[in-house]
Structure 1
Amino acid sequence: MTIDVMTEFRQRVAKHAALADAARLRIVDLLTLGDLSPTELQAELGMPSNLLSHHLRTLEEASLVTRRRSEADRRRSYIRLTPGALEGLVPGIEHGARRVVFVCTRNSARSQLATALWQQMSEIPSTSAGTHPADHIARGAIDVARRHGLSLPDTAPRRLDPLAGDGDFVVTVCDNAHEELSGLGGVHWSVPDPVRQGTSEAFELAFQEIAHRIGDLAPRVHAA
């Protein structure tokens, strides 16, 4: 890690440590709605003033909250969330990629759906491939994509070998492909195979899980 990244990481650790206490987490919850005076917080939380002062001091030291003197009654102050205080608290790291390649065994459902969803959410190029491609895209994948306003490519599934290149960020979306490609790098999503069950419900569940994963990953991948 660089010095800047390490400093940012330590700041995140300090914030998580401060929020690990139930009372301090409740204070931050309340402050997401608006500013409150210590007296108002004390009444809301039902705790002694000395204990509240301790919690507020801890939150201030972690750069989660700040105080501002009231313009009306100068003896009163208001506690507010520091701008951007909660940004970056969701665990995760960023990745640089020239292209994102989604891989499953047959390239007939999960990887195809992932690519179509990715193209809706990111400008970084993407494609899909299979370790042992099928002859055609699964009918269930085409149907579930259509139900959600997506269209899958009118091309036969493709093999990974000629597609993968330097700068590609590989996401395996089936366990077989992940275990076959052990050591390739990238990340793995253990998504159950909807083709195996063949029901519309199975394809819908796969679609929803992949959509959720894409939503989490897309903001963390930047162009390399």
Structure 2
Amino acid sequence: MTGKIRVLFVCTANAARSQLAEALLRHTDPVRFEAFSAGTQPGEVDPRTYAALEHLGIDASGLRSKSMDEFVDGHFDYVITLCDKAALECQFLPEFGERLMWHFEDPVTSDKHDAFRHTLHEIHERIKMFVLVKTKH
């Protein structure tokens, strides 16, 4: 054990939101947190996910789409779902850790201008607050 707070971010395809969250938490507080992401029905990481992270200078290396199955034996302090569909599907999974349900619009299917950057910003704000609350002494 590393002594770090382990967080698993989950969305359906593990293509955008959970990847953004994983990279953002690693960037925000790599000393106290260990971040992972997975999908309930993983696909491929959307290239716009990498572009949004690179635009902010956040390291996107090592990101890949992963199934929840990879983490079935893992322990996490927090499992954070990033969409309603994943939150519903995760109700039937074994208890990994404390569950938090966040909901962000999927930038992959959004028709908003700069949807990926907008989602990245929203997730970043939530993660900064999460880190602040969870590391207060």
TM-score range, shorter chain: 0.7 to 0.9
Distance 1:191 1:113 in 2: 11
Output one character per residue of 1:34-67: Cα deviation in whole Å (capped at 9) or x when no partner: xxxxxxxxxxxxxxxxxxxxxxxxxxxxxxxxxx
Q: Which entry has the higher C-alpha Rg, 1 or 2?
A: 1
What's the Cα RMSD here? 2.2
| 1:97/1:167 contact within 8 Å kept | no
Deviation at 1:204, TM superposition (A): 1.3
Q: Secondary structure at the match of 1:197?
A: coil
Which of 123, 131, 137 is the matching residue for 1:218?
131
Distance 2:18 2:90 in 1: 15
Cα pair distance change 1:98/1:151, threshold 3 Å: closer
Is residue 2:82 matched to residue 1:169?
A: no
Q: Secondary structure at the match of 1:213?
A: helix
Cα pair distance change 1:199/1:154, threshold 3 Å: farther
Distance 2:113 2:46 in 1: 11
Identity percentage of aligned residues: 33
What is the number of residues matched between the two proteins? Answer: 126
Which runs of 5 or more residues in structure 1 are unaligned? 1-95
Distance 2:125 2:67 in 1: 26
Distance 2:110 2:76 in 1: 35
Distance 1:159 1:107 in 2: 8
Is residue 2:62 matched to residue 1:148?
A: no
Distance 1:200 1:146 in 2: 18
Which of 24, 43, 49 is the matching residue for 1:117?
24
Matches within 5 A, 1:4-83: none
Larger RCO, structures 1/2 (Cα 8 Å, 6+ apart): 2
| 1:140/1:198 contact within 8 Å kept | no
Is residue 2:121 matched to residue 1:205?
A: no
Deviation at 1:196, TM superposition (A): 0.8
TM-score (norm. length: structure 2) = 0.81
Deviation at 1:146, TM superposition (A): 0.9
Which runs of 5 or more residues in structure 2 are unaligned? none
* Higher fraction of helix: 1
